[in-house]
């Protein structure tokens, strides 16, 4: 039933589309809906009355949960204000796992604390069957002296050479700040944000469905990581941009047998269970504790070039 939609970016209304899918057919669903903040989309009007907006959200959230497999997860990205309403809906339908705080400063609002994170709600369709993999990100270092930023005290002999396990606060992925790296879309997410979500919640060949595909971030992440996708957008222009970008992508984000998320040609997220397969591809310091001042590097023959993507961000200076 879903075969004809696999690896397609589809022009249409996501609720109408999802209604025609059977129960329990998708491995993970990820949504980055319009924030109802008056953003300037090509066609969509982002200024519904609050009750209309929430009523509409309840409909697509219910469909997302219905079509997600019992082993699958439901992810929704938004500003904290709307996530509080979504959580009420999701608590009735699925099982709370995390509120991921994605540290990403936004514009000052005045008369409030400075908003500095987006949230990603992470729910399991069925908590006992839920598929989850621990993931790691590279150690953070001082850009001047190269030493680890975190003080591990006397525990440096036990450091993981690649980096710590990812927590529910994500500070190492930055928004796309420069117009020259974005498509003509007001709310494009970074690809490696979606790659992290996909690596921790799916296996190769699993299917990711995104009801608000925009210019294709989740579809590109899925394709790069050897997963399948279904993306829907109400705006044909965005669907066409997505398709054009996908045509230039390969399923090649790999080191040895393991799928890996890259950013600026360096591994940005790996799965913990893949480390044994990955370790030989890195040059490691002589002693583990030297990780404190010696960065592990990918051996030259594993260098990964992503020439097809224009989505590069300027790395943040710490
Ligand atoms: C926040 S953006 C998604 C951006 C996307 N995550 C990316 O990185 O490019 C929300 C998208 O939802 C689309 N949209 C709005 N209403 C929709 C509907 N009823 N069905 C499908 N897509 C819709 C808009 O056209 C817009 O592209």
Phi then psi for residue 175, to 5 deg, are -65, 160
Tokens at 241, concatenated: 């941009």
Name the CATH topology of 3-302.
Rossmann fold (3.40.50)
Say what the pLDDT of residue 304 is.
62
Residue nearest to atom 18 of ligand 1 (CA): 13
Interior CA angle at 246 toward 304 and 24, to 5°? 105
Nearest atom, ligand 1, residue 42 CA: 25
Tens place of pLDDT for every residue, the chain, 318 residues? Answer: 899 999 999 999 999 999 999 999 999 999 999 999 888 888 888 889 999 999 999 999 999 999 999 999 999 999 999 999 999 999 999 999 999 999 987 777 778 888 899 999 999 999 999 999 999 999 999 999 999 998 888 888 899 999 999 999 999 999 887 766 777 777 899 999 999 999 999 999 999 999 999 999 999 999 999 999 999 999 999 999 999 999 999 999 999 999 999 999 899 999 999 999 999 999 999 998 999 999 999 988 776 654 334 444 433 333
Residue 31 CB-density burial (10 A; 0-12 exposed, 13-18 middle, 19+ buried): buried
Tell how far the Cα of 33 is from the centroid of ligand 1, in angstroms.
6
Nearest atom, ligand 1, residue 185 CA: 9
Tell how far the Cα of 94 is from the centroid of ligand 1, in angstroms.
23
Nearest atom, ligand 1, residue 210 CA: 6
Pocket of ligand 1, candidates 214, 230, 231, 243: which has the most ligand atoms within 8 Å of its Cβ, to mutate? Answer: 214
Nearest atom, ligand 1, residue 183 CA: 9
CA 250/CA 218 separation, integer angstroms: 14
Helix 236-247, helix 217-224: angle, nearest 10: 20
Tell how far the Cα of 210 is from the centroid of ligand 1, in angstroms.
9
Residue nearest to atom 27 of ligand 1 (CA): 214
Say what the pLDDT of residue 303 is.
62
CA 135/CA 251 separation, integer angstroms: 20
- Residues 207, 230 contacting (CB under 8 angstroms): yes
Pocket of ligand 1, candidates 11, 13, 34: which has the most ligand atoms within 8 Å of its Cβ, to mutate? Answer: 34
Say what the pLDDT of residue 213 is.
98
Q: What is the DSSP string of 114-137?
A: PP-EEEEEEEESSTTT-----EE-
- Ligand 1 neighbours, Cβ below 6 Å, are 13-14, 32-34, 41, 44, 185, 187-189, 211-212, 214-215, 217, 232-235, 238
Tell how far the Cα of 79 is from the centroid of ligand 1, in angstroms.
15
Task: Kindly tell me the sign of the dihedral angle through the C-alpha atoms of 280, 281, 284, 289.
Answer: negative
**Hey, where are the domains in the chain?**
3-302
Closest Cα to residue 160, out of 279, 300, 298, 299?
279
Q: Is the pTM of this model over 0.85?
A: yes
């Amino acid at each position: 039933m879903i075969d004809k939609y696999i690896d397609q970016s589809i022009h249409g209304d996501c609720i109408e589309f999802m209604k025609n899918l059977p129960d329990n057919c998708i491995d993970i669903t990820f949504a980055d809906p319009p924030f109802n903040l008056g953003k300037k989309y090509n066609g969509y009007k982002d200024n519904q009355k609050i009750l209309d907006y929430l009523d509409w959200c309840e409909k697509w959230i219910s469909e997302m949960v219905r079509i997600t497999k019992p082993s699958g997860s439901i992810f929704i990205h938004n500003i904290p204000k709307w996530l509080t309403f979504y959580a009420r809906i999701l608590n009735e339908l699925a099982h709370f796992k995390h509120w991921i705080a994605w540290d990403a400063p936004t514009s000052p609002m005045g008369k409030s604390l400075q908003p500095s994170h987006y949230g990603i709600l992470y729910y399991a369709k069925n908590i006992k069957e839920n598929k989850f993999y621990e993931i790691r990100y590279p150690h953070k270092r001082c850009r001047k002296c190269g030493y680890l930023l975190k003080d591990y005290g006397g525990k440096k002999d036990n450091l993981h050479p690649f980096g710590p396990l990812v927590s529910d606060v994500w500070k190492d992925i930055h928004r796309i700040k420069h117009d020259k790296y974005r498509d003509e879309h007001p709310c494009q997410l970074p690809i490696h944000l979606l790659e992290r979500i996909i690596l921790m919640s799916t296996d190769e060949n699993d299917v990711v469905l995104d009801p608000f595909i925009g210019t294709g971030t989740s579809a590109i992440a899925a394709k790069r990581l050897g997963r399948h996708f279904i993306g829907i957008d109400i705006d044909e222009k965005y669907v066409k941009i997505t398709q054009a970008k996908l045509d230039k992508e390969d399923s090649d984000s790999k080191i040895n047998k393991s799928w890996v998320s890259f950013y600026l040609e360096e591994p940005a997220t790996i799965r913990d269970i893949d480390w044994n397969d990955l370790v030989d591809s890195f040059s490691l310091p002589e002693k583990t504790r030297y990780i404190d001042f010696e960065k592990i590097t990918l051996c030259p023959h594993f260098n990964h070039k992503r020439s097809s993507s224009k989505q590069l961000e300027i790395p943040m200076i710490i």
